[in-house]
A and B are shown apart, each in its own frame.
Chain A
Amino acid sequence: MIAIIDYGVGNLFSLQSSFAMIGQEVTVTSDKTVIQNADRLILPGVGAFGDARKKLAMHGLDETLLAQAKDGKMIMGICLGMQMLFDKSFEYGEHAGLSLIPGEVVDMTPRIREGLKVPHIGWNALDLAKPDHPLFRYIKNGDCVYFVHSYFADKCAADTIATSEYDIPLTAAVAKDNVIGCQFHPEKSGRVGLNLLRAFCEMK
Chain B
Amino acid sequence: MITKRIIPCLDIRDGRVVKGVNFAGLRDVSNPVDLAAFYSECGADELVFYDITASSEGRTLFTDILREVARTIFIPLTVGGGINTVADFERVLSCGADKVSVNSGAIRNPQLIEDAARRYGDQCVVLSVDAKRVNGTYHVFAKGGREDTGMDALEWIRRGLDMGAGEIVLNSIDTDGVKKGFDLEMLSDVCAFANVPVIASGGAGCIEDFVTLFKTIPGVDAGLAASIFHFGEVAIRDLKETLHHNGITVRRL
Contacts and interface: CB of A to CB of B under 8 A. Distances in A.
Given A11-B93, A121-B123, A121-B197, A190 B3 contact: no
Interface in A98-134: 117, 119-125
B2 A124 contact: yes
Interface stretch (B52-60, B68-76, B176-184): B68-76
Nearest to B43: A190
Interface string B120-134: 011100000000000
B5 interface: yes
B3 A122 contact: yes
B94 A123 contact: no
B45 interface: yes
A11 B94 contact: yes
B3 A21 contact: no
B121 A190 contact: no
Contacts of A146: 75-76
B123 A148 contact: yes
B1 A13 contact: no
B221 A122 contact: yes
Interface string A33-62: 000000000000011000000000000000
B127 to A, nearest CB: 15
A122 B5 contact: yes
Contacts of A165: 1
B1 A166 contact: yes
B40 interface: yes
A121 B195 CA distance: 12
A178 interface: no
Interface string B65-89: 0010011101110000000000000
Interface string B38-58: 001000010000000000000
A14 B72 CA distance: 9
Contacts of B40: 190
Contacts of A120: 2
A194 B40 CA distance: 13
B14 interface: no
A26 B2 CA distance: 32
B211 interface: no
B2 A17 contact: no
A137 interface: no
A14 B47 CA distance: 14
B3 A124 contact: yes
Interface in A1-43: 11, 13-14, 17-18, 20-21
Interface in A140-181: 144, 146-148, 165-166
B2 A166 contact: yes
Contacts of A121: 2, 123, 166-167, 197
A18 B74 contact: yes
Contact of B74 (A119, A123, A194): A194
A95 interface: no
Interface of A: 11, 13-14, 17-18, 20-21, 46-47, 117, 119-125, 144, 146-148, 165-166, 187-191, 193-194
